[in-house]
Amino acid sequence: MDIFKVSATALEAQRVRMNTIASNMANAQTTKTEAGGPYIRKDVVFSTLPINSKPSGKLEGVRVREIVEDNKPPITVYDPGHPDADENGYVSMPNINVIEEMVNMMMALRAYEANVRAFNVSKGMFQKALELGRV
């Protein structure tokens, strides 16, 4: 049954990744946050997670180790009419490339779907094994 734990950890990790990407996209034009500056892009860092298994083998799942802020500087745009423009008319915009975020979202979605398929295949194998036991 540990295979279900592996798939479940991967599903949870990809869910967090998709939520983080969605937050980045939603804030792509946010020029002022509670911290005072523009929104800073965030990224998810994964690591392995040991799954309790039989002594004969070691299984590892996935966990979110941390959510880190991108260290790229904000993008400055000349817009003197913007309420957040500095004295020279420049606005600091988030360092978010929406196209890159969409690609990341598609990759996270594909990984999520692959883990759902792995979960369902494992479930089907267990069901077939149970049917063999009834015969």
- Domain boundaries defined on the chain: 2-134
Q: What angle do CA 21, 26, 27 make, to 5 degrees?
A: 100
What rounded mean pLDDT belongs to the chain? 90
Cα gap 27→134, rounded to integer Å: 56
Q: How many CA atoms lie within 13 A of 20 on its CB side?
A: 21
**pLDDT value for 56:** 54
**Would the pLDDT of 25 be above 70?**
yes
**Would the pLDDT of 129 be above 60?**
yes
pLDDT tens per residue across span 66-104: 999 999 999 999 999 999 999 999 999 999 999 999 999
**pLDDT value for 53:** 59
> Exposed/middle/buried for 20, CB within 10 Å: 0-12, 13-18, 19+?
buried
pLDDT tens per residue across span 41-53: 999 999 988 877 5
**119 token code pair:** 């979960």
**Would the pLDDT of 57 be above 80?**
no
CA 65, 70, 71, 74: dihedral to nearest 10 degrees?
A: -160
Cα gap 43→70, rounded to integer Å: 7
Q: What angle do CA 115, 119, 123 make, to 5 degrees?
A: 170
